[in-house]
Amino acid sequence: MKCPESSPQSARAQSKIRHIRDLLILGQSVQTVALDLGDANASGFITLFRKAVGQPPARYLAVRMAVAGHQSQRGIAMREAAE
């Protein structure tokens, strides 16, 4: 079964969302990212992000940080067990 190809607009939108996620992960605030992308306020940006990612930026970051912390703790435990 062939997967339908995405449109150029869809590819651009996905690229934009990846860039937004990168900026948020690097610590830029939602307000700063929203303004940099031309949104008048964070509300519209949050709606766009939620529709694209499935959760608002704050929850996305909280989950991502929790997963990263868990992986970090797991790595420490594995190193200690190997010693």
State pLDDT tens for residues 12-63: 888 888 888 899 989 899 999 988 888 888 888 899 899 989 999 999 988 8
Residues 36, 63: Cα–Cα separation, whole Å: 24
Structural domains of the chain ordered from first start: 10-82 (1.10.10)
pTM over cut 0.85: no
Ramachandran category for residue 54: left, alpha or beta (phi over 0 → left; psi -120 to 50 → alpha): left
Higher pLDDT pick, 13 / 78 = 13
Kindly report the number of other CB atoms within 10 A of residue 49's CB atom: 23
Burial of 33 (0-12, 13-18, 19+ CB in 10 A): buried
